[in-house]
Amino acid sequence: MVNSVSDSDSDIPTLSAYAAEALKDQFWYSDATSEYLSNIAHSIAAKNDSEGLIVFMSSPTAFVKFVDMYPNYQNVYLLEFDQRFNLYKEKYYKYDYNKQSELPGFLTQNKAATIILDPPFLNEDCLTKFMASVSLLSDDNTKVLLCSGAVMKPLAQTFNLKQTNFFPEHKKSR
């Protein structure tokens, strides 16, 4: 499955701040996709004035959009390798899927209402390690939204993930 980086906000990383090479190698969500994912996350996690835990894993533009759309929502965090997002201070935690068990204790203790993840590589090792982290962050009630390529579908199904009819869109690279 599936970021909001606002080019107008100098406090957050912007696509224009990325080096040309990095831009070519990344698959940043379109605004519409970021909004869609943010709304899904909010509709799952926000219930009757309570804030369920939302974790964005390696989906920074969706996280940035969520913060933009729901600035008062406190219980939302970004786990991401790219340390430029440490601009988000206590909302950001460096995450490396090769260290899949190294997660903030308060996140693994609280369990997420929803997790949105977009692993960097389309291979078994990467998705399996991401899902090991997801397992530590979730319980039976957690809704997991994986954004990935069709080639990962068979493996994703082994984690009880089902394909939806939503196809994320990405910004065009140069």
Find the binding residues for ligand SAM in span 136-165 (CB under 6 A): none
* Nearest-approach distance from CB 59 to ligand SAM, in angstroms: 4
Residue 44 CA neighbour count, 13 Å, CB half: 21
The residue (of 3 and 114) whose beta carbon lies closer to ligand SAM is: 3
Any contact of residue 95 with ligand SAM (CB under 6 A)? yes
Task: Tell me the two tokens of residue 165.
Answer: 């009819």
The residue (of 123 and 141) whose beta carbon lies closer to ligand SAM is: 123
Q: Which stretch binds ligand SAM (CB under 6 A): 35-43, 67-75, 94-102, 152-160?
A: 94-102
What is the chain's Cα-based Rg?
15
Q: Where are the alpha helices (DSSP H) in the chain?
A: 20-25, 31-45, 60-69, 105-110, 124-137, 153-158
Find the binding residues for ligand SAM in span 22-81 (CB under 6 A): 26-29, 58-62, 80-81
* Nearest-approach distance from CB 140 to ligand SAM, in angstroms: 25
Q: How many CB atoms lie within 10 A of CB 5?
A: 25
CA–CA dist 112, 45 (Å, integer): 9
* Nearest-approach distance from CB 120 to ligand SAM, in angstroms: 4
122: phi > 0 → left, psi -120 to 50 → alpha, else beta; which?
Answer: beta
Find the binding residues for ligand SAM in span 104-133 (CB under 6 A): 118, 120
Q: Which residues bind ligand SAM (CB under 6 A)?
A: 3, 26-29, 58-62, 80-82, 95-98, 118, 120
